[in-house]
Structure 1
């Protein structure tokens, strides 16, 4: 039976649009809110099939006016990425339908299949998951789609960086100076652009981390064409903030161990990793809140800011 409170959050026109994309004889049995996202509402829809079984779909809807302004671009990128990923070795949702301009519903939306597994943000088993993450990202970067996604855009500038309270002022000034320089030359790769533990689904068996495997990579709304270093830098930053600064460096090493190729010069690696770390400074509060909602209650905004400060300082010490 449909949870009426949850169903009310999915607007009537959008629900009607979803129903038009179901198979003959299928119906919506239940709607459940999925938590952890920042920019869009995420719902899991339980679909009753003709043979009496069920299957799940996921509905992404952009409702917040601040994010709606970018929804058309993001949904077009995600729809294009999911289409390009179909039939590849990268486990991604299958595209069911997209309404990037809200032509058929109240808000821009995308409907896709649901993947098994869950995001794992705990410290336990991290030694097993990091190499898996690295190998998966190498596989993403190896893709050569018939149509390239748009070139990456770096929104953070030296003037928009938010220096955390109590941070090492000299280190942050030096880091900001790094991104004042032009971007280093780069070789183009197919990028996820938000590859991090929250967007990778794992199956962790009851027997323990040893049998852990990746079951899906989700949230392809920022798919871009750009340097592999950008994706590696982003995952490194997230790992550093979730688990401690050393894990940021460990992920970059694991990426190369898995066959990935990064910028040759230390100064070039520093540029991309510092750029992503500084970009995170602008959204620490939102990121920390999402992680607390996912169960990492100890990751207060202050705790994440302290780890970000330590990570930025470590980058300058090791790559500067």
Structure 2
């Protein structure tokens, strides 16, 4: 049973579809928008149970026409990843149902279990969180699935990079030349492909940021097979833009300290680190917007561009 009046924020066809996967006597009591995502609309559904208690589910729907073109692929990949991760010890949501072609819903959708915790994007407590992020990513890369996901795809090219206003032209030209090369050979790993603070849920005790613990990893729509360096580079870039270039470099160290294995040579590592940093140059505005919505109001598009420039310079100085 579904309470349509209280759950009106979710479309009727989708609510009817959700109801198929509820237990007898359960109904949707309330919906709440979850913020931070870029490509999909996320909602927490509070489910009333027969005994009077409640439980939560999460509904992921692709409603923006710009993203619905790829929704079927993304949702199928996420559903496959969530099924694969069951029982692995990686704290991922459990798959409840998926409608990748919107056969039953207004929009392509996925229904999953709700995980406790929240993304933490503040500077406070970062020193304690970085090793946790590194250990969690190393554990993901250690998975050996019976069926590999598809090979990674990197869309950025030397011609699509957007050099920030005021950036050092010589440094950026050298960085762009790095990704003109062929990708280095690598030993494949199971990749999240968007592992970064916005997709990691933490439980942080009040006034005890040093005691934070990871409670969940979300957004598995881009799961791929490829070099561990690519996941590490992506998290490094996000940390650099959120907290400063030094934290991007620190994450690479933390990943190795956690037992993760990266490319053998500095030039190979530079390729992956620079490739991800330059990819961010094309979407600074989209990346910065949800960070500001989450409370980091100082991270204007221009501020993030300046951090990206500083990070690319730091990479070229350290590894170039």
Q: Which TM-score tier does this pair reach, normalised by the shorter chain? A: over 0.9
Query: Residues 129-172 of structure 1, C-alpha deviation per residue, up to 9 Å, x if partnerless?
Result: 00000000000000111111111000111111111111111111
**TM-score under structure 1 normalisation?**
0.98
The offset of 1:207, in angstroms, is: 4.2
The equivalences for 1:1-320 within 5 A come to 7-320=7-320
Contact 1:158–1:177 (CA under 8 A) maintained in structure 2: yes
Cα pair 1:61 1:109 within 8 Å, conserved: yes
* Secondary structure of 1:215 counterpart: strand
Gaps of 5+ in 2: none
Secondary structure class of the residue paired with 1:225: strand
Aligned mates of 1:171, 1:7 — CA distance in 2: 53
Contact 1:161 1:279 in 2 (8 A): yes
Between stretches 259-268 and 98-107, larger displacement belongs to 98-107
Deviation at 1:210, TM superposition (A): 2.4
Query: Is contact 1:13-1:104 (8 Å) kept?
Result: yes
What's the CA shift for 1:2?
A: 6.3
CA–CA distance in structure 2, aligned partners of residues 53 and 8 of structure 1: 21
Shift of 1:200: 0.3
Tell me how far apart the structure 2 counterparts of residues 115 and 254 of structure 1 sit (CA, whole Å): 26
Superposed CA deviations along residues 154-211 of structure 1, whole A, max 9, x for unmatched, are: 0111111111111111111111111111100011100000000000000111241221
The number of equivalent residue pairs is 319
Q: 1:253 to 1:2 in 2, by over 3 A?
A: farther
> Does the 8 Å contact 2:43/2:59 carry over to 1?
yes
Give the superposition deviation at 1:7: 3.7
Note closer, same or farther for the CA distance 1:3–1:301 as it changes in structure 2 (3 Å cut).
farther
Whole-Å Cα distance in 1 between the matches of residues 9 and 31 of structure 2? 9
Whole-angstrom distance in 1 between the partners of 2:4 and 2:199: 26
Cα shift at 1:9: 3.8
Contact kept in structure 1, 2:9 and 2:31, CA below 8 Å: no
For 1:7 and 1:162, the matched residues in 2 are separated by 42
Cα gap change, 1:2/1:118 in structure 2, threshold over 3 Å: closer, same or farther?
Answer: farther
Cα RMSD (Å) of the superposition? 1.2
C-alpha distance in 2 between matches for 1:264 and 1:69 = 38
SS in 2 for 1:98: strand
Q: Is the 8 A contact 1:3 1:30 kept in 2?
A: no
Q: What SS does the aligned partner of 1:180 have?
A: coil
Partner SS for 2:295: coil
Partners of 2:30 and 2:205 in 1: CA distance: 27
CA distance in 1, matches of 2:11, 2:159: 39
Alpha-carbon distance in 2 for matches of 1:163, 1:150: 31
Q: Confirm or deny: 8 A CA contact 1:62 1:108 kept in the other structure.
A: yes
Structure 1 CA distance for aligned equivalents of residues 15 and 155 of structure 2: 34
Q: TM-score, normalised by structure 2?
A: 0.98
CA distance in structure 2 between the aligned counterparts of 1:282 and 1:23, rounded to whole angstroms: 45
| Distance in 2 of aligned mates of 1:7 and 1:177 | 52
